[in-house]
């Protein structure tokens, strides 16, 4: 995992100048044109900053094509075509791959890279170091811990994220406040009444809001657990030889 600063990257420039976070979950390099085809998710707490970031990305010199797919509230999705960067080319030439979304915040980009050859990591990083500023945030063997769990349990992780996405802004605020001030501790440090005072709503409203939030999150967690606990088919079943 690398934390990088790419001088010529329009995504970094946009997030350096606007209070907007960009996530690129899907991308591909065209072998015909050498261009990077990106699907970018933009988010900001400020609607004006979101609008400004989208316009800046659309008008960036390095952007060959821009299409706003959707925009709702504080989020937007766009498809962008960029010329392939030297940094990505360096990773690919050394047998590496991007194994997670790019994230751009405050002008810096977070990369998740994977290599099958350990020696190739040092070669790629040495080549990147000649042109770019970066910090190694984490170096993890995929067969050690997190890698297999993430890839093998993608559907379960998605179910949990879907549960979080169903929460309203009020439910998130009340739930975060409840956790932060010990409502779920034993013994309990917070009451519904004091929690309501913090959130500016009645204790009855707090109780209803927490129940709705808990129902959504627990429903998502149970769905994930059901899937995790299903027996795994023997991979050798039905295979001769």
Using alpha carbons only, how large is the chain's radius of gyration in Å? 22
Produce one character per residue of 139-151: b if its CB has 16 or more CB atoms within 10 Å, e if not.
eeeeeeeeeeeee
Residue 204 near residue 162, CB atoms below 8 Å: no
Residue 199: the pLDDT is 93
Residue 241: the pLDDT is 43
Q: What is the distance between the alpha carbons of residues 134 and 161, in angstroms, rounded to a whole number?
A: 29
Give 143 or 196, the one with higher predicted confidence.
196
What Å distances lie between residue 172 and 37, 66, 213, 217, CA to CA?
Answer: 34, 33, 8, 11
DSSP lists the bridge partners of residue 35 as 83
Q: What is the pTM of this model?
A: 0.61
Q: What is the distance between the alpha carbons of residues 218 and 227, in angstroms, rounded to a whole number?
A: 14
Domain with CATH 1.10.10 in the chain: 153-228
What Å distances lie between residue 209 and 140, 157, 200, 201, 231, CA to CA?
Answer: 40, 24, 13, 10, 36
Instruction: Specify the pairing of strand 63-72 against strand 102-105.
Output: unpaired
Mean pLDDT over each residue of the chain, to the nearest integer: 83
- Whether 204 shows a pLDDT value over 90: the answer reads yes
Supply the DSSP string of 32-96, one letter for each residue. TT-EEEEEEEEE-SSHHHHHHHHHHHHH-TTEEEEEEEEEETTEEEEEEEEEPPHHHHHHHHTTE
Residue 142: the pLDDT is 61
Q: What is the distance between the alpha carbons of residues 231 and 150, in angstroms, rounded to a whole number?
A: 18
Domain 153-228, architecture per CATH:
Orthogonal Bundle (1.10)
- Per-residue pLDDT of 140-184, as tens digits, reads 776 555 555 555 776 777 788 888 888 999 999 999 999 999 999
Residue 239: the pLDDT is 45
Helix, strand, or coil (residue 175):
helix
Least confident of 113-117, 120-124, 143-147, 168-172: 143-147
Mean pLDDT calculated for residue range 196-204 = 93
Mean pLDDT calculated for residue range 42-59 = 92
């Amino acid at each position: 995992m690398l934390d990088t600063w790419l001088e010529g990257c329009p995504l970094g420039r946009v997030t350096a100048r606007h209070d907007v976070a960009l996530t690129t979950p899907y991308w591909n390099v065209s072998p015909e044109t050498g261009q990077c085809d990106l699907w970018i998710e933009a988010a900001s707490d400020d609607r004006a900053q979101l609008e400004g970031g989208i316009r800046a990305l659309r008008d960036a010199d390095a952007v060959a094509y821009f299409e706003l797919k959707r925009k709702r509230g504080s989020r937007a999705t766009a498809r962008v075509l960029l010329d392939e960067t030297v940094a990505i080319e360096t990773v690919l030439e050394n047998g590496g791959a991007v194994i997670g979304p790019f994230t751009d915040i405050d002008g810096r980009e977070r990369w998740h890279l994977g290599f099958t050859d350990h020696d190739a990591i040092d070669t790629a990083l040495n080549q990147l170091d000649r042109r770019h500023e970066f910090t190694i945030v984490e170096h993890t063997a995929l067969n050690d811990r997190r890698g297999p769990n993430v890839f093998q349990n993608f559907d379960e992780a998605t179910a949990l994220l879907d549960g979080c996405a169903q929460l309203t802004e009020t439910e998130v605020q009340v739930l975060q406040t409840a956790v932060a001030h010990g409502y779920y501790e034993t013994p309990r440090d917070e009451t519904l009444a004091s929690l309501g005072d913090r959130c500016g709503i009645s204790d009855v409203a707090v109780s209803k809001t927490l129940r709705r939030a808990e129902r959504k999150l627990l429903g998502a967690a149970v769905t994930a657990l059901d899937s995790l606990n299903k027996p795994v088919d023997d991979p050798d079943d039905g295979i001769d030889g």
